[in-house]
Structure 1
Amino acid sequence: MSKILIVEDETIIRTALRKLLERNQYEVSEAPSVKEATTRYQLKDFDLIISDLRLPGAPGTDLIKLAGDIPVLIMTSYASLRSAVDSMRMGAVDYIAKPFDHDEMVTAVKRVIGKAKAGKLASQSTQTASHAIAGMIGNSDVMQDLYNRIHKVAPTAATVLVHGETGTGKELVARALHEESQRANHLMISVNCAAIPETLIESELFGHEKGAFTGAATNREGLVAAADGGTLFLDEIGELPLEAQARLLRVLQEGEVRPLGSVESRKVDVRLVAATHRDLRKLAKEGKFREDLYFRINVVQLELPPLRERGTDIITLAESLLQRYCTQFGKPLLQLSADAIRAITTYTWPGNVRELENAMQRAVILCEDEREISSELLSIDMDAAPFEEDEEGDLAFAARTSVGRNLRGQPQDAGEDLSLEDYFQRFVLEHQDSMSETELARKLGVSRKCLWERRQRLGIPRTRAASASSLAK
């Protein structure tokens, strides 16, 4: 049974969290401060430490150094996001923002403990430790898993299908597979199947004989043959016409290619790495992609995570890009402002790393400040941001306001098993007659959209008074 230490000064939150974790089969200890945690316990005896960022006396981040190799998960309000990011830089394994759902907390705990145990097993084994891929930045769990899979499959001759959204770096993965293979001394030929007209794709890939079609004035070697001995990277293979798919299947099955207009085939030794953002299985069922080719290329599939699922990797990426473009454009080394960090970490980045690169490049070019990049320069749609600043710098509905009190204003029994949803519900019911929706959201540290969604989930209708107040504002 994994052992967890909770360091939280508010008794009601600490007790509720302890009971939640105990229900999920964890052995839990608790302390109200860093001093008591280090006095009463040996931190090395725990598998995980969960600490509030703000504590009486020393801050929760002090536990990061004191705990050594024991992972520390920091709890913070949405309004303290900059501090949370700073704590990650100091070595916190992750942070979780209040208010959080029970499932969110349990998932985070399982992920952190699982990663820590996997790390210990890896360090005890003789297997080669994972290391980052050239050109790829990030140390999140999903990226570490991707690096490991690349290192495992690269030395083999297996065909690889790389799947990921636009801008996630599929060609970087293909390049890494080539450079870590035994074919590294030969060419890697990259072809964007979506960029070549359908009438020319077969000629480009497989070559043609003189006179094979109008305009074929000479013999021409195709890109498949040019990659002989090396790697052929077909980006957006889902856009390949069915006729070309049939020819590619022959290359993979027979190891030979026949140019257009030729009656002879030539042997080729090519390793195929294909990439797509589309669902090839679905396309195969719809008859838009050959099913036999799909099964042939889907030997090993590597999934590239979108930027929004890579946690604090996004800050590391943004800062790296910021430094690169400052150097490139002869600007002083700039920093990201607090509002820029908030914008970067809350935006969904549909264009992924490519979109982030464009945003950082644009911001550096347009920046007139010699110190910081503001969120306005990023041109990010902040309507998607799930939180707002709290003037008090903490989460009002948490332990520092009416949370922990009942509707009559009496202190709540610390032993009562209240969930964080209960705290949310109490605060809304207690204040919705006197606050607008915007004020409620700001005090709770969430967006109005998030407030509305939680109302729907918890069945808390808006009162007429609240609606009228909101309209009046």
Structure 2
Amino acid sequence: MNYLLVVDDEAVIRTGLRRLLERHGYQVAEAGSVDEALQQSLDGFDLIISDLRLPGLPGTALIEHAGQTPVLIMTSFASIRSAVDAVRAGAADYIAKPFDHDDLLLTVERILRERLLQRQNAALRQDISRERPATGIIGSSPAMQELHRRIQRMASLNTTVLIHGESGTGKELVARALHEQGPRSQAPLISVNCAAIPESLIESELFGHEKGAFTGAQGMRKGLVEAADGGSLFLDEIGELPLEAQARLLRLLQEKEVRRLGATQSRKVDVRLIAATHRNLRQLVSAGLFREDLFFRLNVVELVLPPLRERGDDIIEIARILLERTIERVGSHPLSFSPCALEAMREYRWPGNIRELENAIERAVILCDDSAITPELLAIDLPACADDVRPEPLDPPTGLSLEDYFQHFVLEHQDQMSETELAQKLGISRKTLWERRQRLGIPRRRGAGDTT
């Protein structure tokens, strides 16, 4: 619900405007002058409607104090000059008294719609600047097909959803899919990692605060819940939320309203809550670390995101997409996975899930000199497969130690052979070759035989 402030020195006009706006679903506060208006937190309103001629300061004086809140100026002196002056001062628009009620309502609706678009664009820019393992949910395994079906079913509803899955499985992608496929897709999706915010700041970040609410609160701040008004709020790792913040969140779910720290009044908000956790909330409830009433409010519908190790060939599909994106991002030459690397990725348990897979691929792309990525480059510790069989090492000449022979062989052939060929001739892995170079102080030189 949008929160509006009407500023006019005539009580009859203020009351009439408030009743008109409230009949059309707006929440309205009043003030009789600029000084009276400044006693409130202007940044907490979605729109300020002010008369131009007021006792003391003119209505345009509110603009410099309103921050991101738009100001609509009313005036009985309908002239081009007053309209231009108001807009030049930063007013969102100008309307002349006496005005038609429908004209006013249309103007208010247009300004609020433009403000919503600005918020959406800001959220989109934030999303673009934030790197993710993937921009969509990838995979066609049976578990993922069932997840897709449930997302499509739940997206159109306003029901609270709890997403459960191990760290790195892509819970935020599921939340984004629920938001973007639903009726709130044109409004912001605000994502919050509850584990990343210090416990002393989490309530202020979520619910906002008034000036002087606590030491260091130099001004009013709108919380992330209010920023998500009309859209969706995604609380990741909700199991880390302190009990005090849990109580405020429960009130949000029950009453659909939020009150900033230090404020005396609550304000209505329309937010769909999507929560996620990798922890067992029932166990946290039993341990007294999570409110039982909040758990039941959150656990209306649960979506379970399977770990990567249970998704079969989805691992290969995800890995190939991540490889393409990593190559493009770092500017590498074309690469592919060796058959042995594909087998190793299927067998590996991936405790860090997609996030670990992404990091492994990025490291491999940076270190790879050839056209194929091997398990060694992925740093997957698995038994060697058929592709990893190398020829027997060459016998060192009589009288030379193994280390002397290694040094002699590398220095003699490194300008004609790639690192892979050197390792194969020596009967060792590329990783072992690199480690021995480091130990013996033999820097790698890029010659004609290096495929980089």
What TM bracket, shorter-length normalisation?
0.5 to 0.7
1:165: which partner in 2? 166
Does residue 381 of the first structure (1) align with residue 381 of the second (2)? yes
| Secondary structure of the structure 1 residue equivalent to 2:151 | helix
Contact 2:209 2:217 in 1 (8 A): yes
Does residue 306 of the first structure (1) align with residue 307 of the second (2)? yes
| Secondary structure of the structure 2 residue equivalent to 1:194 | helix
| Secondary structure of the structure 2 residue equivalent to 1:151 | helix
For structure 1, list consecutive stretches of 5 or more residues without a partner in the other structure: 1-132, 393-473
Does residue 178 of the first structure (1) align with residue 184 of the second (2)? no
1:241: which partner in 2? 242
1:200: which partner in 2? 201
- Which has the bigger relative contact order, CA under 8 A and spacing at least 6? 1
How much does 1:355 deviate?
Answer: 0.4
Pick closer, same or farther for the CA change 1:340–1:192 going to 2, 3 Å: same
2:287: which partner in 1? 286
* Two-structure CA RMSD over aligned residues (Å): 1.8
How much does 1:175 deviate?
Answer: 0.7
1:372: which partner in 2? 372
Q: For the residues of structure 2 that align with 1:367 and 1:167, how far apart are their CA atoms? A: 25
Q: For the residues of structure 2 that align with 1:351 and 1:181, how far apart are their CA atoms? A: 30
1:348: which partner in 2? 349
Q: Deviations over 1:37-64 (max 9, x none)?
A: xxxxxxxxxxxxxxxxxxxxxxxxxxxx
Partner amino acid, structure 2, of 1:372: A
Q: Deviations over 1:276-307 (max 9, x none)?
A: 00000110111100000000011111100000
Pick closer, same or farther for the CA change 1:391–1:329 going to 2, 3 Å: closer
Partner amino acid, structure 2, of 1:266: R
Q: For the residues of structure 2 that align with 1:215 and 1:329, how far apart are their CA atoms? A: 42
Q: For the residues of structure 2 that align with 1:266 and 1:244, how far apart are their CA atoms? A: 17
Q: Deviations over 1:206-265 (max 9, x none)?
A: 111111111111111111111110000001000000000000000000000011111111
1:333: which partner in 2? 334
1:138: which partner in 2? 139
2:88: which partner in 1? none
Partner amino acid, structure 2, of 1:375: P
How much does 1:333 deviate?
Answer: 2.4
How much does 1:329 deviate?
Answer: 2.4
How much does 1:332 deviate?
Answer: 3.0
Q: For the residues of structure 2 that align with 1:163 and 1:390, how far apart are their CA atoms? A: 38
Q: For the residues of structure 2 that align with 1:391 and 1:341, how far apart are their CA atoms? A: 12
Contact 2:340 2:387 in 1 (8 A): no
Contact 1:140 1:312 in 2 (8 A): yes
Q: Deviations over 1:140-171 (max 9, x none)?
A: 00011111110110110000001100000001
Contact 1:336 1:373 in 2 (8 A): yes
How much does 1:388 deviate?
Answer: 5.6
Query: How high is the TM-score relative to the length of structure 2?
Result: 0.55
Does residue 230 of the first structure (1) align with residue 231 of the second (2)? yes
Q: For the residues of structure 2 that align with 1:390 and 1:175, how far apart are their CA atoms? A: 40
1:126: which partner in 2? none
Q: Deviations over 1:398-449 (max 9, x none)?
A: xxxxxxxxxxxxxxxxxxxxxxxxxxxxxxxxxxxxxxxxxxxxxxxxxxxx
| Secondary structure of the structure 1 residue equivalent to 2:273 | strand
Partner amino acid, structure 1, of 2:334: L
Q: For the residues of structure 1 that align with 2:376 and 2:387, how far apart are their CA atoms? A: 20
How much does 1:134 deviate?
Answer: 5.3
- Aligned pairs for 1:83-232 (under 5 A) are 135-232=136-233
Contact 2:207 2:225 in 1 (8 A): yes
Partner amino acid, structure 1, of 2:372: E
Contact 2:340 2:388 in 1 (8 A): no
1:463: which partner in 2? none
Partner amino acid, structure 2, of 1:168: T
Give me the identity figure in percent. Answer: 65
| Secondary structure of the structure 1 residue equivalent to 2:196 | coil
Query: How high is the TM-score relative to the length of structure 1?
Result: 0.53
Q: For the residues of structure 2 that align with 1:220 and 1:318, how far apart are their CA atoms? A: 42
Contact 1:154 1:180 in 2 (8 A): yes
Contact 1:140 1:311 in 2 (8 A): yes
Q: For the residues of structure 1 that align with 2:182 and 2:135, how far apart are their CA atoms? A: 14
| Secondary structure of the structure 2 residue equivalent to 1:260 | coil
Q: For the residues of structure 2 that align with 1:388 and 1:359, how far apart are their CA atoms? A: 19
- Aligned pairs for 1:422-461 (under 5 A) are none
Contact 2:340 2:385 in 1 (8 A): no
| Secondary structure of the structure 2 residue equivalent to 1:301 | strand
Pick closer, same or farther for the CA change 1:243–1:225 going to 2, 3 Å: same
Q: For the residues of structure 2 that align with 1:359 and 1:222, how far apart are their CA atoms? A: 37
Partner amino acid, structure 2, of 1:311: G
How much does 1:314 deviate?
Answer: 0.6
Q: For the residues of structure 1 that align with 2:373 and 2:338, how far apart are their CA atoms? A: 6
Pick closer, same or farther for the CA change 1:390–1:341 going to 2, 3 Å: closer
Pick closer, same or farther for the CA change 1:161–1:203 going to 2, 3 Å: same
How much does 1:327 deviate?
Answer: 2.3
1:461: which partner in 2? none
Contact 1:205 1:222 in 2 (8 A): yes
Runs of 4+ in 1 over 6 A off after TM superposition: none
How much does 1:391 deviate?
Answer: 12
Contact 1:187 1:231 in 2 (8 A): yes
| Secondary structure of the structure 2 residue equivalent to 1:218 | coil
Q: For the residues of structure 1 that align with 2:188 and 2:318, how far apart are their CA atoms? A: 29
For structure 2, list consecutive stretches of 5 or more residues without a partner in the other structure: 1-133, 390-452
How much does 1:380 deviate?
Answer: 1.2
How much does 1:330 deviate?
Answer: 2.5
2:260: which partner in 1? 259
| Secondary structure of the structure 2 residue equivalent to 1:182 | coil
| Secondary structure of the structure 1 residue equivalent to 2:270 | coil
| Secondary structure of the structure 2 residue equivalent to 1:264 | coil
State how many pairs are aligned.
256
Pick closer, same or farther for the CA change 1:390–1:214 going to 2, 3 Å: closer
Partner amino acid, structure 1, of 2:381: D
